[in-house]
């Protein structure tokens, strides 16, 4: 069996990140609002007011803003045979920056968080360049 392209391996690890962030965003809300409310129909909307819950939810939403582009690029690079090079490096950098983004947001490193976000965006552009310009 040939080795998987780096972009596909990183895509797999990105799902782990997605699950971890989903967990980080949902557990504080459940602890604050109660399991009965979370398991119910939520007919009367309630929002968690804790700082950690808010930051975790915003960090998760931020991941979801660029995640579809990452998934599309990782898959496109793999199926077109253009994996490797800048595409693989971009995928690795994107995942690393997204992992570092979580504690930077939760702990409140405002400028570091913005730099990590920007680096992850540049990584997506590297993947796009590999796809379109190779």
* CATH at 30: 1.20.120
Confidence of residue 30 (pLDDT cuts 50, 70, 90): confident
Residues 6+ apart with CB under 8 A from 57: 25, 29, 48
Q: What is the pLDDT of residue 46?
A: 77
Q: What is the pLDDT of residue 36?
A: 81
For residue 110, the enclosing domain spans 6-133
Domain contains 76: yes
For the segment 32-48, the average pLDDT, to the nearest whole number, is 80
80: three-class secondary structure by DSSP: coil
pLDDT digits (tens, 9 = 90+) for 68-109: 999 999 999 999 999 999 999 999 999 999 999 999 999 998
What's the rounded Cα separation, in Å, for the pair 63 and 20? 12
CA 71, distance to chain mean position in Å, is 10
Domain contains 62: yes
Q: What is the pLDDT of residue 53?
A: 93
Please give the C-alpha separations between residue 88 and each of 14, 61, 70, in angstroms, as whole numbers.
Answer: 14, 25, 12
Indicate the DSSP class of residue 2.
Answer: P
Domain contains 34: yes
For the segment 37-63, the average pLDDT, to the nearest whole number, is 88
Confidence of residue 33 (pLDDT cuts 50, 70, 90): confident
For the segment 47-76, the average pLDDT, to the nearest whole number, is 95
Number of domains, the chain: 1
Domain contains 1: no
Task: Note whether 8 and 77 are within 8 A (CB).
Answer: no
Domain contains 25: yes
What's the rounded Cα separation, in Å, for the pair 57 and 26? 8
Please give the C-alpha separations between residue 27 and each of 19, 23, 32, 75, in angstroms, as whole numbers.
Answer: 12, 6, 9, 31
Domain contains 48: yes
Domain contains 87: yes
Domain contains 42: yes
Q: What is the pLDDT of residue 62?
A: 97
The sign of the CA dihedral 72, 75, 76, 77 is: positive
Confidence of residue 40 (pLDDT cuts 50, 70, 90): confident
């Amino acid at each position: 069996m040939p080795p998987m392209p780096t972009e596909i391996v990183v895509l797999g690890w990105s799902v782990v990140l997605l699950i971890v962030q989903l967990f980080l965003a949902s557990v504080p809300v459940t602890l604050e609002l109660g399991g009965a409310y979370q398991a119910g129909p939520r007919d009367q909307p309630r929002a968690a007011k804790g700082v950690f819950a808010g930051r975790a939810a915003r960090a998760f939403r931020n991941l979801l803003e660029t995640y579809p582009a990452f998934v599309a690029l990782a898959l496109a690079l793999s199926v077109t045979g253009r994996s490797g090079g800048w595409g693989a490096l971009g995928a690795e950098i994107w995942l690393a920056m997204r992992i570092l983004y979580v504690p930077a947001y939760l702990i409140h490193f405002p400028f570091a968080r913005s730099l990590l976000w920007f680096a992850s965006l540049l990584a997506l552009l590297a993947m796009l360049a590999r796809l379109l310009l190779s």
